[in-house]
Amino acid sequence: MLPADAAGPLSDVPPERRPAHIAMIMDGNGRWAQRRGLPRVEGHQRGAAVVREITELCSDLGIGQLTLYCLSSENWKRPADEISFLMLLLKQYIIDEREPIMRNNLRVRMLGRRAAIPDHVLEELDKTIEMSRGNTGMWLNLAINYGGRGEIVDAVRAIAGRVRDGALQPEDITEDTVSGHLYTAGLADPDLLVRTAGEMRVSNFLLWQISYAEIWVTDRCWPEFDESALHEAIRAYAARDRRFGGLPDLA
């Protein structure tokens, strides 16, 4: 195990050993609340507060990109009252975070399908994205109404349209072509995928992009995720030997 912080946060982990892009599956809000005899919405509210804390911590650590799984395309199967609350919570988060976003020089991007998201939520989201457009700091990517399979389907449709129009030949399609038609076009793939609440699955999240991501799972539910857990995840990442299918350096 790597030593604890000495002179400051993660001072024992040099910048070059830290992940440039962290993706997070923020699971366990409802379970956290139910274990405490609270309504599920209390867990979502606490989870939103943790998003704010972790975003600022990642920015302070110099993380280049943070991608958060806010709402999956499968989450629409939940009870209507919970979905309505999540939409209102998302809208309020987007409004409330404008000042911290600008103060921390963050750039905001939405990943997912806009269809089904209420217009009043999209309007506030678009305002925040436009407001942050000139910033130069960490990318904060919000995966909303997102599904990895749906993303790939949308990319295939776009590529097929280019082929149909004669702008692209099938034999010229490469991995870069596919990457360039994903919601994440222009962004680097995640180095580290963090999942809370102990679930050992990726839940249709960034299926193309996490091909070589290091995966770290904690039993903590998302409302319990804090600075110490973030540091633990980064230290675990720094201790791994990333070979991308190659052999270890025996020199």
Strand pairing report for 65-72 and 21-25: parallel
Distance from first CA to last CA of the chain, Å, rounded?
Answer: 24
Q: Is 222 known to sit in a ligand binding site? A: no
Q: Is 202 known to sit in a ligand binding site? A: yes
Q: Is 97 known to sit in a ligand binding site? A: no
**Sheet containing 139-146: which strands, arranged edge to edge?**
107-111, 139-146, 65-72, 21-25, 192-195, 214-217
* 75 is annotated as an active-site residue: yes
Q: Is 73 known to sit in a ligand binding site? A: yes
Q: Is 11 known to sit in a ligand binding site? A: no
Q: Is 30 known to sit in a ligand binding site? A: yes
18 with 234: CB under 8 angstroms?
yes
189 with 213: CB under 8 angstroms?
yes
Of 5, 12, 60, 75, the catalytic one is 75
Q: Is 74 known to sit in a ligand binding site? A: yes
Q: Is 40 known to sit in a ligand binding site? A: yes
Partnered with residue 58 across adjacent β-strands are none
Q: Which distant-in-sequence residues (6+ apart) come within 8 Å of 188 by Cβ? A: 20, 21, 64, 65
Q: Of 109, 124, 130, 131, which is closest to residue 187 (Cα–Cα)?
A: 109
Q: Is 157 known to sit in a ligand binding site? A: no
Of 27, 141, 145, 191, the catalytic one is 27
Torsion over CA: 123, 126, 128, 130 (sign) = negative
User: Rounded to whole angstroms, how far apart are CA atoms 163 and 3?
Assistant: 54
Q: Is 52 known to sit in a ligand binding site? A: no
Q: Is 149 known to sit in a ligand binding site? A: no
Q: Is 214 known to sit in a ligand binding site? A: yes
User: Rounded to whole angstroms, how far apart are CA atoms 68 and 66?
Assistant: 7
Structure tokens that stand for 180 in this block: 């360039």
Please enumerate, by residue number, every residue annotated as part of a binding site: 27-32, 40, 44, 72-74, 76, 78, 195, 201-203, 214
Please enumerate, by residue number, every residue annotated as part of a binding site for substrate: 28-32, 40, 44, 72-74, 76, 78, 195, 201-203
Please enumerate, by residue number, every residue annotated as part of a binding site for Mg(2+): 27, 214
Task: Please list the active-site residues.
Answer: 27, 75
